[in-house]
Amino acid sequence: DIAIGYIKEAAQKDEPFFIACGYSKPHTPFVAPQEFFDLYDINDIPLPPDFASLPMNPFEFPKGAIRETNADLFINRPATAEDAKDFIRAYWACISYVDWNVGRLIAALDESGMRENTIIVFCVDHGFQLGEKGKWSKAGSLWEEGTKVPLLIVDPRAKGNGQASKRIVENLDIYPTLIELCGLPENKDLEGTSIAKLLDNPNAEWDKPAYTVWNNHGKGVTGVSVRVNRWRYAEYFGAGAGAMLIDEENDPHELVNLVRDPQYADLVAKLHELAIKYVEGQRELTKEEAEAQGLLK
């Protein structure tokens, strides 16, 4: 409601505006009006193929890949199949509640007459595991469910509006993209890269990986993942150290760790190098810190 008020105010002024409207959902607790729960029949809700009642470390994956206890739901208690479906339904209801509210904002832009002169960005900060491998939380996930997020950008001038792009991008790329789209001075100190060209051509050449870093309880870098077109590579340091390589095209549920498969040795070496360089680039590490985190091999 407040954001809609700002849109109405902006319509009365002949000057640029920026409005950031943040939604807390679908963050826990999963609360939404009943009408959004009614959209889903609990009997139709599937459980993931690797659903578990408690957090479990998949066979041949690093121990550090799954935290021993959940951080958001089913904390220190098992998740029965019935309970799990109930919570998944609630999660979906919260998402639909957000969708409805986003629709209200866009309707307000239409009514204001500014829709064709406004860039709309919908982004999310993290994913959420809903029982995959027994994990019910955002925290500590370097899996696809925890790090892959929705990103929609509508620029009325873009040629690719309405098309999906399979290119790998990061939330860090949003700021430099908006700078370019708005014709503002380039900031060379930003880590992200403008994806404006993908808005015109979703299939344009693009080879930049996406990174995710996990810091467990402020104890330094616990793990890092590198995502490229087909592959997800993650490396964990300290307790539960190890690595995983997942073929996201042929193993979307992330059930097989290929990191020790000889045919992928060169790929693993390349992704390992990218991961370590990224972690070291976050800040200067002492030799002792690097050794403690397993970064020096």
Position 223 pLDDT exceeds 80:
yes
State the angle between helix axes of 81-112 and 2-11 in degrees (0 to 180), rounded to the nearest 10: 20
Winning range, highest mean pLDDT, from 146-150, 219-223, 284-288 = 146-150
pLDDT band at 282 (very low <50, low <70, confident <90, very high): low
How far apart (Å, rounded) are the C-alpha atoms in residues 286 and 297?
15
pLDDT value at residue 135: 96
Position 242 pLDDT exceeds 90:
yes
SS (H, E, C) the chain: CHHHHHHHHHHCCCCCCCCCCCCCCCCCCCCCCHHHHCCCCHHHCCCCCCECCCCCCCCCCCHHHCCCCCCCCCCCCCCCHHHHHHHHHHHHHHHHHHHHHHHHHHHHHHHHCCHHHCCEEEECCCCCEECECCCEECCCCCCHHHHCCCEEEECCCCCCCCCCCCCCCCHHHHHHHHHHHCCCCCCCCCCCCCCHHHHHCCCCCCCCCEEEEEECCCCCEEEEEEECCCEEEEEECCCCCEEEEEECCCCCCCCCCCCCCHHHHHHHHHHHHHHHHHHHHHCCCCHHHHHHCCCCC
Can you say how many angstroms the Cα of residue 252 is from the centroid of all Cα atoms in its chain?
15
120, with CB counted inside 10 A (0-12, 13-18, 19+), is middle
Position 59 pLDDT exceeds 50:
yes
Question: Which residue type occupies 25?
Answer: K
pLDDT band at 220 (very low <50, low <70, confident <90, very high): confident
pTM: 0.90
pLDDT value at residue 289: 52
Position 226 pLDDT exceeds 50:
yes
pLDDT 10s digits, 87-134 = 999 999 999 999 999 999 999 999 999 999 999 999 999 999 999 999
pLDDT value at residue 73: 94
Average pLDDT over residues 71-99: 96
pLDDT value at residue 297: 41
pLDDT mean across residues, the chain:
92
CA dist list (Å): 146 to 87, 93, 123, 149, 225: 17, 19, 14, 8, 11
- By percentage, how much of the chain surpasses pLDDT 70? 94
How far apart (Å, rounded) are the C-alpha atoms in residues 85 and 45?
6
pLDDT value at residue 239: 81
pLDDT 10s digits, 155-172 = 999 999 999 999 999 999
How far apart (Å, rounded) are the C-alpha atoms in residues 193 and 253?
29
Position 236 pLDDT exceeds 50:
yes
pLDDT value at residue 296: 44
pLDDT value at residue 140: 86
How far apart (Å, rounded) are the C-alpha atoms in residues 131 and 54?
8
pLDDT 10s digits, 177-193 = 999 999 999 998 998 99
| DSSP code string of 88-155 | HHHHHHHHHHHHHHHHHHHHHHHHHT-GGG--EEEE-S---EESBTT-EESTT--SHHHH---EEEE-
pLDDT value at residue 138: 87
